């Protein structure tokens, strides 16, 4: 007399089917959330890669700038030494107009070389500053996106945990 009748069996079957449908919906929801998490993770990796490329570019430009600055320092020192030597020779050979003219031409060429290197250095510094500004902007964007993706991941985990706990309670 404790066994359920035919009507009780039907009701129990309906409850099981409803519970099964609920579990299927929860599983589908969790699958979709997992896809969202994977897409967010891939986007974060892409942003990190982009920031690393910009950092490499900035480092290359820094190295190039350092090389130009070193050449400029060397050239300045050489030019100053050359200018000093030329001045001394010019003072000693003031009466020889031809020699003085030739020395003035050498001094002018050295000054033009220094001016050329200074223009090159200014160009490299400007490009380095632009690249550094781009890196700062990209790093900020990447950090902001990483925080947003982290928050989305945390929200999705909370929702998935809630959904799992709800499914377990069923």
Cα separation, 128 vs 133, in Å, equals 8
Phi, psi of 16 (to 5 degrees): -65, -40
Instruction: Please state, in angstroms and rounded to a whole number, the distance separating the CA atoms of residues 100 and 89.
Output: 8
State how far the Cα of 92 lies from the Cα of 69, in Å rounded to an integer. 34
pTM of the predicted protein model = 0.33
Report the pLDDT value the prediction gives residue 166, as an integer from 0 to 100.
82
Give 16's Cβ-side CA count (13 Å radius). 6
Beta strands in the chain (DSSP E): none
**pLDDT one-digit tens code per residue, 60-114:** 999 999 998 999 999 999 989 999 998 888 688 677 777 668 878 999 999 999 9
- The tens digit of pLDDT for each residue in 101-150 reads 887 899 999 999 999 999 998 998 999 889 888 888 888 898 899 899 99
* CA proximity to 146, closest of 46, 70, 28: 46
Which tens digit of pLDDT belongs to each residue from 26-72?
999 999 999 999 999 999 899 999 989 999 999 999 999 999 899 99
Which residues contact residue 106 at a Cβ distance below 8 angstroms, ignoring those fewer than 6 apart? 82, 86
d(CA 114, CA 121): 10
Q: How far is CA 126 from CA 50, 63, 82, 99, 116, in A?
A: 22, 14, 30, 41, 16
Largest CA distance in the chain: 139
Sequence-ordered list of residues with C-beta below 8 angstroms from that of 110, at least 6 positions apart, any chain: 78, 79, 82, 83
């Amino acid at each position: 007399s404790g066994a359920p009748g035919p009507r009780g069996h039907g009701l129990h079957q309906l409850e099981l089917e409803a519970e099964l449908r609920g579990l299927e919906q929860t599983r589908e929801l969790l699958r979709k959330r997992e896809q969202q998490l994977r897409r967010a993770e891939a986007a974060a990796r892409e942003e990190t890669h982009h920031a690393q490329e910009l950092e490499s570019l900035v480092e290359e430009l820094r190295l190039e700038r350092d090389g130009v600055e070193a050449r400029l320092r060397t050239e300045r020192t050489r030019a100053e030494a050359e200018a000093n030597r030329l001045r001394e020779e010019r003072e000693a050979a003031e009466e020889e107009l031809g020699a003085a003219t030739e020395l003035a031409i050498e001094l002018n060429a050295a000054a033009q070389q220094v001016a050329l290197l200074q223009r090159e250095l200014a160009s490299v510094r400007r490009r380095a500053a632009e690249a550094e500004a781009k890196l700062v902007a990209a790093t900020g964007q990447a950090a902001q996106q990483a925080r947003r993706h982290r928050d989305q991941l945390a929200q999705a985990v909370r929702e998935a945990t809630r959904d799992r706990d709800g499914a377990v309670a069923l």
